Every structure is written in structure tokens, then in C-alpha cells.
């Protein structure tokens, strides 16, 4: 992977034109890797996401007994082969797994690592980011199933030590309010337990589309999941065997949303390929940008986005587009009317506080952003526009980097983003792709 700049400076740009193949979906990649890791034999994954999260999970799988082989293809993309464990983990005694800044990797591994007879300690070098994110709801359920769990705080923050031993299945109740990743973790674990699991979600479920994705991938891997009530009650029979499969990763909609935001602000016409039809999160993203006034047309898995007129303010429930809320918010700073994005309280528990940190930094650029407990409002000044001319701190958060780049594309004066290398978490080619489209981005190493 190329060395990414520590700082970037974004100049007013436009119009943008060209065709881009967005990165492969991180969300599909992580789940397919886990399915392959838990199956016997060899599974192959075409076009995995090339990102920090992928590298972190593959390293963890190797530590836990999987064989991992990566081949570079002639088109620059990759083929990943994984010789799985069949659900029998082979961690070394007192193993330590560094999960970087990857919350999904942490939560999903916490679940399946309860079948390990050895102590496994999860750590992070990002104490103010992943290190502050809570896991208590998941850890309490894992302890109820017979795992030994140790965390230094009542919120279940890292470092976390976990060991399986005498696990059992049965019925569990868990909150889905803070993260759907807790439920995904239990669903991946359930087939490995003799009794399986009956999972009841006791309150509202945030980021529900990612739970749908987990179930889809489990079923592709040969695991039967019974949905008694969607987003509320699931039953997974025990002693099911993950099957080795061949998987193909589609494009990543949140990354595509950052490009849609760029063309909405800078204007122009772009084409984005390999965006799977029928994806819940993806269709919700496209609907939001269409409502703003971006003209979007689709031909099978390719979309074309055109933006030449002023964009409109919106009022939306952000739950279905949760990872795109930062770039959507940045885009609406250039709208001709106010916007409000609500039902996004769990944004405070991401790599950064994506409500307060986003609002604080955008206001430095002279956007008018008002945060609240579970929403964020944008009140653009249509007459004066956005001044820019400031340095913005992305708080080690790839989604904030994308948002601040979008603001820079439309500001009067350049916007500088520090710690820009954290874009590698999901979209290492983000700056290159925008430059190819005509954006004026200066790398400062």
C-alpha cells in the first residue's frame, strides 16, 4: 500500500468529470473473511477491500490458526485465499491481538474468540478512539454464555481479555441501541455452540442494514438463520458447519457517497461502477443525494451522477446511511436551505464523536452546524458561502477526512486536513480518485 500523506490541502475545484471504480465494500470483506476463517478447507474472496481493517482482520485470523494467501491480479485488484479453521481456534497461550482502530473487527472477533480455550487479549494503539468505545452489552452476554471476560472499565473498553472454556447456548437478550455489531458477533458465534442461540433485541436497533448483511453472508456460507421478527428476534441452530465458498466483493456505498458528495459540491458528472443493486444501505444513500438534487441514473451496477444546479436542504433519518452522515452533512453546508439529520446518537461512539467533532471542525471553516444529542443541523449562509482557509483535525477518523475534503472543494480559501493518512482505514485511493476526477488536492507529506 502506498505511503499516504500526513496532511492534505484542498482547493476550490470543479467541475469534476470521469469514471471511478470505488473501493470494494469493507463491510462485505470483513464478514466474508470471518465466514472463510470459520469454514474448513479453502475459500476464495475476489476483490477484497484493500484497507487497514482488512489487514488487521487477516493478521488476527493468521494468529488464530488460519492460512492466508494474497495474490495481486493483473487489474491491480486482489484475490484472497483463506484456509479456514473449521471453527477450531489455535491461539497461542496468552495471545495478544492488536485490532488497530477497527471497531467491527474487534466486536466480531470477541464473539467467535469465546470458543478459544486460551486467553486472548485485545488491544489498540488508539486509546482516545477505539479505546473509548463501549463493548459492555456484548461482553455481558458472552459471560452469560460461559466465557471469562475481563475489561478495565464498566463500559467494557479495551484492553479486553477473553477465554471460552465451557460455553453453552440458549436464549439471550441484548440491546441494539449502541451497535448492531454486537448482534452480528453473536450470530457468527451461534452455529459453533451445541445449543445454538436465540437472540432477542430488547430495544431499537441502530445501523440495521448491516445486520441484514451479516445474515445474508451467513446464509451464503451455509448457516441457517431463522428470523422470528426482523430486527427483534433471531434463532440460529447449533452445530452448523460453515462451508468453504467462493465470494465476490461488490463496491462500497459509503465510499461512493463521498464521491457523490464531492460532485454535489464541486458540480460536474461522474460515473461509478460495481455498485450492487438492491443493497439497503446503498439505495438509501442514493435516495438522499437524489433528494438534494443530484441527478442519479443507473445501468445495472453502474451509476452516473450529475450536479449542475444548487442543492437543496434535507430532513432525514440518518440511521440507514449512518456511515455517510459526515459527508452528507458536509454537502448540505452548501445547500440553499437548512438541513437536519436525526436518529444518529450512536455516531458519538464511532472512531470519533461524529456529531460534536464534526460540528466543531466544520464551524471552524465557517459552516453553521448545530449538534444535539441525537441529531445534527446545518444552516448554510447561501449569500456568503463557506470561507474555508483553516486547518481541520480529523480526529483519526476516515469519515471525517472525507467530509472535510468535500468542504474544501467548495470553500473560498483552501482547507487543510491533518492526519489525512487515516483515510487508509477504508479508502486508500480517495485522494488519487478525486484528483483523477479533476479535484485540486495538494499532498503535504
Catalytic residues: 323
The angle subtended at Cα 135 by Cα 134 and Cα 141, nearest 5°, is 150
Eight-class DSSP state of 333: T
Inter-axis angle of helices 280-292 and 253-266, nearest 10? 10
Whole-angstrom distance, CA of residue 260 vs CA of residue 305 = 7
Torsion of CA 161, 48, 234, 87, to 10 degrees: -50
From the CB of residue 206, how many other CB atoms can be counted at a distance below 10 Å?
22
| Alpha-carbon gap, residue 267 to 397, rounded angstroms | 26
CA dihedral 96, 213, 426, 270 (to 10 degrees): 170
Beta strands in 25-77 (DSSP E): 42-46, 67-72
CA dist 26 → 18, 32, 328, 355 (Å):
24, 10, 19, 23
d(CA 45, CA 361): 38
Name the nearest CA neighbour of 272 among 74, 426, 434. 434
Contacts of 290 (CB under 8 A, 6+ apart): 296
Q: How far apart are CA 402 and CA 431, in angstroms?
A: 9
Amino acid at each position: 500500500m502506498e505511503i499516504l500523506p500526513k496532511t492534505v490541502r484542498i482547493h476550490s475545484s470543479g467541475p469534476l468529470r470521469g469514471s471511478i471504480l470505488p473501493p470494494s465494500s469493507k463491510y462485505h470483506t470483513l464478514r466474508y473473511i470471518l465466514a472463510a476463517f470459520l469454514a474448513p478447507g479453502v475459500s476464495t474472496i475476489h476483490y477484497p477491500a484493500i484497507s487497514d481493517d482488512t489487514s488487521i482482520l487477516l493478521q488476527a485470523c493468521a494468529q488464530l490458526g488460519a492460512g492466508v494467501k494474497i495474490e495481486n491480479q493483473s487489474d491491480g485488484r486482489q484475490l484472497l485465499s483463506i484456509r479456514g479453521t473449521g471453527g477450531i481456534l489455535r491461539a497461542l497461550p496468552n495471545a495478544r491481538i492488536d485490532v488497530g482502530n477497527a471497531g467491527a473487527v474487534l466486536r466480531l472477533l470477541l464473539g467467535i474468540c469465546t470458543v478459544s480455550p486460551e486467553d486472548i487479549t485485545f488491544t489498540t494503539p488508539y486509546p482516545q478512539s477505539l479505546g473509548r468505545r463501549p463493548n459492555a452489552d456484548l461482553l455481558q452476554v458472552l459471560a452469560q454464555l460461559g466465557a471469562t471476560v475481563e475489561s478495565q472499565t464498566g463500559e467494557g473498553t479495551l484492553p479486553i481479555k477473553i477465554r471460552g472454556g465451557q460455553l453453552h447456548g440458549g436464549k439471550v437478550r441484548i440491546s441494539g441501541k449502541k451497535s448492531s455489531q454486537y448482534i452480528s458477533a453473536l450470530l457468527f458465534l451461534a452455529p459453533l455452540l451445541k445449543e445454538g442461540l436465540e437472540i432477542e433485541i430488547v430495544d431499537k436497533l441502530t445501523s440495521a442494514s448491516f445486520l441484514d448483511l451479516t445474515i445474508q453472508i451467513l446464509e451464503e456460507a451455509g448457516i441457517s438463520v431463522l428470523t422470528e421478527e426482523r430486527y427483534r428476534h433471531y434463532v440460529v441452530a447449533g452445530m452448523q458447519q460453515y462451508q468453504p465458498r467462493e465470494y465476490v466483493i461488490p463496491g462500497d456505498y459509503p465510499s461512493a457517497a463521498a464521491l457523490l458528495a464531492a460532485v454535489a459540491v464541486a458540480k460536474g458528472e461522474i460515473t461509478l461502477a460495481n455498485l450492487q443493486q438492491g443493497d439497503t444501505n446503498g439505495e438509501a444513500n442514493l435516495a438522499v443525494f437524489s433528494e438534494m438534487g443530484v441527478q442519479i441514473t443507473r445501468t445495472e451496477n453502474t451509476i452516473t451522477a450529475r450536479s449542475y444546479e444548487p442543492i437543496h436542504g434535507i430532513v432525514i433519518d440518518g440511521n440507514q446511511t449512518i456511515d455517510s452522515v459526515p459527508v452528507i452533512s458536509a454537502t448540505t453546508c452548501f445547500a440553499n436551505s437548512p438541513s437536519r439529520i436525526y436518529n444518529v446518537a450512536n455516531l458519538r461512539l464511532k472512531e470519533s464523536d461524529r456529531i460534536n467533532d464534526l460540528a466543531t471542525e466544520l464551524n471552524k471553516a465557517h459552516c453553521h452546524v448545530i449538534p444535539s444529542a441525537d441529531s445534527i443541523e446545518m444552516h448554510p449562509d447561501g449569500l456568503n458561502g463557506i470561507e474555508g482557509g483553516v486547518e481541520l483535525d480529523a480526529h483519526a477518523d476516515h469519515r471525517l477526512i472525507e467530509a472535510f475534503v468535500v468542504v474544501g472543494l467548495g470553500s473560498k480559501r483552501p482547507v487543510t486536513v491533518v492526519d489525512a493518512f487515516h483515510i487508509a482505514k477504508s479508502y486508500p485511493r480517495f485522494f488519487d480518485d478525486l484528483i483523477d476526477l479533476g479535484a485540486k488536492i495538494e499532498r503535504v507529506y
